[in-house]
Amino acid sequence: MSAESTPNLMEAVVSLAKRRGFVFQSSEIYGGLNGFFDYGPLGVELKKNIRDCWWNDMVRRRDDIVGIETSIIMHPKVWQASGHVDGFTDPLVDCKVSKQRYRADQLFFAAVTVDGEVKGYVSALESEDTVGALQAAAESFKRKKAIQGTLAPVVAVEFTEATEAQIPLIPSPATGEPGSLTPPRAFNMMFETHVGPLRDSASVAYLRPETAQGMFVDFKNVVDTGRVKLPFGIAQTGKSFRNEITPRNFVFRSREFEQMEMEFFIHEDDDWAKWHRHWIDWCKDWLLSIGLPASHLSEYDHLKEKLAFYSKGTTDIMFKFPFGVQELWGIAARGNYDLGQHEKASGVPQAIFDETTKKKFIPHVIEPAVGLDRIFLAVLCGAYAEEQVTDEKGKAETRTVLRLSPRIAPVKVAVLPLLKNKEALTERAKELYKKLQRRYAVFYDEAGAIGRRYRRQDEIGTPWCVTIDFDTIEKDGTFTLRERDSMEQRRVTEAELLALLDEQVY
Ligand code: ATP
């Protein structure tokens, strides 16, 4: 069985994440807090590895990108200039009866049209098959009301498009009855706090909803100190906070999450479309390099008419999650809007001088922005598999395996002495374990049958196990190297093991 054929893949992934200590609900002993998560011992390693791979590839291994780390709480004027105070909103709809809240752009409705006449409305929350759900609801509506005639195929409409006359007639998804949904209103997603001892309007500040503004606000500092020349990028990773109306799908959409963003500044006359394409390709290649299956990746170009006025183009790299194809990474060509806004609001010039044309200009920017927690979830969904295998005794069993790339696997190697009670074996195993530990996350396990120990490592995605047996200590010093995906075993020397790790873990 492959990942794709695992029934209820999402449930299986969430259950494994809890069972093996990847992700816990935040504040679980108090009933949890919706939209917040904790990362357990294996989760924190996996997340760190993804972040480190991104940092190494994006910053350290490129000559044209530098990194920074900016504060989470910034001057409130930053968020006025960026447009977030006025415009960082989602359309919110309340159900007055059930007190449920919905995002209007995730709530759909359709007219029930029989023999060309509208008989009422049905609604459904966005899902993998929104139209199917609306069609089924329309059929049930017609049946319940005993309406005769031919039902037209439904046309799904976003609730944001509902007219004043339609809103009172659209049923709430919570109650199934019309009359309780409010018109959509703009809900600002920024978390507010206060800075200093006084709690008044002058002390209001915000937890950042994105890391990007840090790069814009520090642009001049980096230019003046960093010996950078266009085109160049500034990158950072860090926590962002959004008071999402409907956090859902595990860590896919949470209220506290981590972003990895990079602002790539180019000359105003440079070919933005070329750089935009460069970064889309780079991001896709990078996702493949950490092991996401190519079959799950696609691109979505935002419609020109839906882009912000300053935007030249946005392409999302989409991932096929178990709950549908969703945005993973957004690559936006933002013109010089952000730096221009900060220049206007702060009065501090953001333009740089072009030695060739002797003109000053504000650079344009391409922004690849991704959520670390979203990649984490994509990685688990893409790697999870259940397979039918036969154990050493010839019995069929189901093996759960996480096919994680060695680059990001939380444990790279498990060191296993064949027997627990033979000191010569455990001593040699511990010696190897200590040596590997200096450079890699490794695990020592001497408890239980060797087959069971292999399975435990398969489930957490450890690419290799090495077993120290009698041949190791009595003959040539080689170990058995067992490969997770093929389950093949071969004998290797310590030097060969180190060379393998050096090549595959980078
Ligand atoms: P969405 O439409 O899914 O709300 P967005 O278009 O608002 O996302 P951006 O503002 O472009 O997202 O943020 C960049 C990236 O940050 C997204 O591509 C996503 O990977 C991640 N991200 C955004 N919101 C969340 C969230 N609530 N939880 C986890 N990751 C998020």
> What is the rounded average pLDDT of the residues 378-401?
92
What confidence score (pLDDT) does residue 1 get? 44
Same domain for 279 and 197: yes
Question: Which of 187, 189, 241, 257 is the pocket-test mutation for ligand 1 (most atoms within 8 Å of CB)?
Answer: 257
Residue 15 in any domain: the answer is no
Residue 5 in any domain: the answer is no
Q: What is the pLDDT of residues 292-330, one digit of tens each?
A: 999 999 999 999 998 988 999 999 999 999 999 999 999
330 Cβ inside 6 Å of ligand 1: yes
Same domain for 229 and 177: no
Q: What is the number of the ligand 1 atom nearest to the C-alpha of 329?
A: 18
Same domain for 280 and 355: yes
Q: How many CA atoms are closer than 13 Å to the CA of 447, on its beta-carbon side?
A: 3
Q: What is the pLDDT of residues 253-286, one digit of tens each?
A: 999 999 999 999 999 999 999 999 999 999 999 9
Predicted confidence (pLDDT) at residue 2 exceeds the cutoff of 60: no
240 Cβ inside 6 Å of ligand 1: no
Average pLDDT, the chain: 96
Same domain for 286 and 269: yes
* Protein residue with its CA nearest to atom 26 in ligand 1: 253
Q: What is the pLDDT of residues 394-438, one digit of tens each?
A: 889 999 999 999 999 999 999 999 999 999 999 999 999 999 999
Cα–Cα distance for residue pair 209/256, rounded to 1 Å? 9
Distance of CA 117 from the midpoint of ligand 1 (Å): 41
Q: What is the pLDDT of residues 7-22, one digit of tens each?
A: 899 999 999 999 999 9
Same domain for 249 and 311: yes
> What is the rounded average pLDDT of the residues 35-62?
98
What confidence score (pLDDT) does residue 13 get? 98
Distance of CA 118 from the midpoint of ligand 1 (Å): 37
Same domain for 215 and 161: no
Asked which of 363, 380, 397 is the last residue of a domain, the reply is: 380
* Single-letter amino acid, residue 260: M
What confidence score (pLDDT) does residue 22 get? 98
Residue 242 in any domain: the answer is yes
Same domain for 38 and 62: yes
Evaluate the CA torsion angle 104, 367, 321, 153 in order and state its sign: positive
Residue 61, domain CATH: 3.30.930.10
Residue 6 in any domain: the answer is no
Q: What is the pLDDT of residues 200-255, one digit of tens each?
A: 989 999 999 999 999 999 999 999 997 899 999 999 999 999 999 999 899 999 99
Residue 11 in any domain: the answer is no
> What is the rounded average pLDDT of the residues 436-443?
97
Distance of CA 51 from the midpoint of ligand 1 (Å): 16
Q: What is the pLDDT of residues 466-501, one digit of tens each?
A: 999 999 999 999 999 999 999 999 999 999 999 999
DSSP string, 18-71: HHTTSEEETTGGGT--TT-EEE-HHHHHHHHHHHHHHHIIIIIT-SSEEE----
Residue 281 in any domain: the answer is yes
> What is the rounded average pLDDT of the residues 128-138?
94
What confidence score (pLDDT) does residue 166 get? 97
Predicted confidence (pLDDT) at residue 338 exceeds the cutoff of 70: yes
Same domain for 315 and 202: yes
Distance of CA 371 from the midpoint of ligand 1 (Å): 6
Distance of CA 481 from the midpoint of ligand 1 (Å): 41
Residue ranges making up the domain that contains 479: 411-504
Q: Which two tokens stand for residue 234?
A: 């500034």
Distance of CA 328 from the midpoint of ligand 1 (Å): 8
What confidence score (pLDDT) does residue 5 get? 65
Distance of CA 13 from the midpoint of ligand 1 (Å): 21
Residue 8 in any domain: the answer is no
Cα–Cα distance for residue pair 497/472, rounded to 1 Å? 14
> What is the rounded average pLDDT of the residues 179-184?
96
375 Cβ inside 6 Å of ligand 1: no
CA angle 224, 229, 230 (to 5 degrees): 120
Ramachandran region of residue 32, left (φ > 0), alpha (ψ -120 to 50) or beta? left
257 Cβ inside 6 Å of ligand 1: yes
* Protein residue with its CA nearest to atom 20 in ligand 1: 371
Give the list of residues 6+ apart from residue 379 with CB closer than 8 angstroms, or none.
46, 50, 290, 291, 292, 404, 408
